C-alpha cells in the first residue's frame, strides 16, 4: 500500500495523523479561489515532489530511477503524484526483484476527469493566446496518461486502464483488479487512486449544486468537515490519493510478501437515479448482498468505515441503511468518518479510506470522528466520537457511494497468517 494526503506520504505518518484526529483541511493554496465560493480544502499543492523523487535513489533499480527522473518533471502535477505513489506501493509490496512477471501485472487507475486544473489552465490560456497552450495537452489531458506513465516508469506490461465511477471509483477499481487476478491470469494488480486536481470551475459548480461547504467555516477550515454533526453543510473537497497492490493469497504467501489484509468481497449496484440523491434502499440492498456473498452474518462485522461525507442528506441516508442491515442492537459494531479528518478525496476516497481502515484494523485502534460538536439525534450508533478507541477488528466493511447512484461496498479481513 502507499498513501499521499496532507497528513503525510508514509503509512506510519498517515496512521499517526488519523489516530491523533489531526485535520488535514486548510484554506486552498493551489487553487485560485478569487471568483468562487469554495475557500477551504485539503491541499497538497506544496508537496515536495523533488524530495520524494530523491528518496527513491538506491531503493529502486537504476533504470527505473532514470525513467522516473526523466518523465516525472515533464508530466502534469497529479500524474506525477500517481507515479510516485505507485512506486512507493510497489516497494511496499516487494514486487520488485521478486519472481512476479511484470508482463502479467495489471495497472488500474481509479478516477476520471482527474487533471481538471491542468485542463482548465490550458483552456484559459487558449482563450488568451491559443499558441501558448501545452502542446502535450492532447495526450496528458487524458486520464489514461496516468496509466501510461505507470507502465513506462514501473515497467508494468499487462493490461492498463482507468475506471470512473465518481466517488466509488476506488472500490470499483479494486473489484476490477480482483477480476484481473481471477479471470485474466494476472500475477498482481496495482490500483492507483489518483489525486483529483480540482479546478476552480469544478469547485464552483459543486458549490452551486449545494454539495460542498462554503458558508460557515472559511475562517476555521479545520472544523469544516463534520459528518453526523447538526451543522454539517456539505463535503470538503480534498487532495489525496493511495495505491493498493493485490495478489492471490497463496501467491503472496509463497513469495513471503507483506500482507496487510485480505479482501473478502467487493460488489456494486446502482440506484437508477443519476442525481446526487443517495438511496437508503440501494445502499442497504448492496450491504446485504455483500454480506451474503462473503457468507457472513451482520454481527461478524466489527467496524464500518463509513462513506460519511458531511452532507445533510447523505450522512443520514447511510446511517439509516446501516441500521436497516445491522439492526438497532449493533453490539460491538463501531463506525468512524475518515472524511472528518481528510475531507473528501472524491474518486480516490475508497482506496484512501480502505488503507486507513486496514491500518486501524492492524493497530487495533480506530481513529476519532472529529468535529461532531452537536450529534444529529438520529445518529445513535457508536461513531468513535472525538477520541481514538481501542477495538479489535476481524472483519470491516467499507462503504462507497458515488454521484450517479453508483454504490460499491467491500469487506476486508484481518490477515491471520493462515492460507
Contact 167, 344 (CB under 8 A): yes
Walk across the sheet containing 2-4 and list its strands: 2-4, 241-246, 188-193, 105-110, 160-163
Beta bridge partners of 402: 406
Sort 22 into a burial class: Cβ within 10 Å, 0-12 / 13-18 / 19+. Answer: middle
Secondary structure class of 162 (helix, strand, coil): strand
Residue in the block written with cell 452551486? 208
Secondary structure class of 406 (helix, strand, coil): strand
- Measured CA to CA in angstroms, residue 55 lies from 192, 272, 418 at distances of 20, 47, 34
Residue whose C-alpha is closest to residue 378's, from 229, 159, 157? 229
- Measured CA to CA in angstroms, residue 398 lies from 211, 235, 274, 308, 318 at distances of 22, 18, 22, 11, 12
| Residues designated catalytic | 167, 307, 344
Tell how many helices (H) and how many strands (E) occur in the chain. Answer: 14, 14
Instruction: Report the alpha-carbon distance of residue 79 to residue 149 in Å, rounded.
Output: 8
DSSP H or E run through 27: strand 26-27
Contact 338, 18 (CB under 8 A): yes
Sort 24 into a burial class: Cβ within 10 Å, 0-12 / 13-18 / 19+. Answer: buried
Secondary structure class of 213 (helix, strand, coil): coil
Instruction: Report the alpha-carbon distance of residue 130 to residue 87 in Å, rounded.
Output: 36
- Measured CA to CA in angstroms, residue 155 lies from 151, 176, 312 at distances of 5, 20, 45
DSSP state of 298: G
Contact 197, 116 (CB under 8 A): yes
Contact 139, 145 (CB under 8 A): yes
DSSP H or E run through 397: strand 395-402
Beta bridge partners of 244: 191
Amino acid at each position: 500500500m502507499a498513501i499521499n494526503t496532507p497528513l503525510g506520504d508514509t503509512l506510519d505518518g498517515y496512521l499517526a495523523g488519523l489516530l491523533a484526529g489531526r485535520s488535514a483541511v486548510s484554506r486552498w493554496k493551489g487553487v485560485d479561489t478569487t471568483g468562487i465560493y469554495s475557500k477551504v480544502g485539503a491541499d497538497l499543492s506544496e508537496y515536495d515532489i523533488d524530495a520524494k523523487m530523491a528518496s527513491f535513489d538506491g531503493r529502486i533499480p537504476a533504470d527505473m530511477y532514470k525513467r522516473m527522473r526523466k518523465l516525472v518533471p515533464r508530466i502534469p502535477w497529479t500524474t506525477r503524484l500517481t507515479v510516485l505513489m505507485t512506486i512507493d506501493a510497489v516497494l511496499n509490496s516487494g514486487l520488485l526483484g521478486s519472481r512476479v512477471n511484470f508482463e502479467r501485472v495489471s495497472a488500474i487507475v481509479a478516477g476520471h476527469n482527474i487533471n481538471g486544473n491542468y485542463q482548465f489552465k490550458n483552456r484559459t490560456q487558449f482563450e488568451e493566446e491559443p499558441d501558448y497552450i501545452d502542446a502535450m495537452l492532447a495526450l496528458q489531458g487524458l486520464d489514461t496518461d496516468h496509466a501510461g506513465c505507470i507502465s513506462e516508469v514501473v515497467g508494468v506490461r499487462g493490461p492498463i486502464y482507468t475506471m470512473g465511477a465518481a466517488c466509488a471509483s476506488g472500490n470499483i477499481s479494486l473489484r476490477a483488479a480482483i477480476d484481473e487476478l481471477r479471470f485474466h491470469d494476472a500475477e498482481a494488480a496495482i490500483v492507483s487512486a489518483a489525486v483529483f486536481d480540482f479546478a476552480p470551475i469544478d469547485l464552483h459548480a459543486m458549490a452551486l449544486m449545494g454539495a460542498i461547504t462554503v458558508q460557515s467555516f472559511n475562517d476555521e477550515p479545520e472544523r469544516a468537515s463534520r459528518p453526523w454533526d447538526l451543522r454539517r453543510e456539505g463535503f470538503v473537497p480534498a487532495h489525496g490519493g493511495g495505491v493498493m497492490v493485490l495478489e492471490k493469497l497463496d501467491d503472496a504467501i509463497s513469495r513471503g510478501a507483506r500482507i496487510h489484509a485480505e479482501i473478502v468481497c467487493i460488489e456494486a449496484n446502482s440506484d437508477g437515479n443519476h442525481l446526487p440523491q443517495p438511496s437508503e434502499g440501494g445502499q442497504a440492498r448492496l450491504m446485504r448482498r455483500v454480506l451474503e456473498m462473503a457468507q457472513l452474518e451482520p454481527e461478524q462485522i466489527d467496524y464500518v468505515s463509513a462513506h460519511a461525507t458531511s452532507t445533510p442528506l447523505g450522512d443520514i441516508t447511510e446511517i439509516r441503511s446501516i441500521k436497516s442491515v445491522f439492526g438497532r442492537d449493533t453490539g460491538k459494531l463501531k463506525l468512524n468518518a475518515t472524511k472528518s479528518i481528510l475531507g473528501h478525496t472524491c474518486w480516490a476516497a475508497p482506496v484512501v479510506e480502505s488503507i486507513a481502515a486496514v491500518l486501524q484494523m492492524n493497530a487495533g485502534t480506530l481513529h476519532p470522528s472529529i468535529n461532531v460538536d452537536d450529534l444529529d439525534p438520529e445518529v445513535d450508533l457508536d461513531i468513535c466520537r472525538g477520541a481514538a478507541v481501542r477495538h479489535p477488528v476481524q472483519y470491516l466493511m467499507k462503504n462507497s457511494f458515488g454521484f450517479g447512484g453508483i454504490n460499491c461496498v467491500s469487506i476486508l479481513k484481518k490477515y491471520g497468517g493462515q492460507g
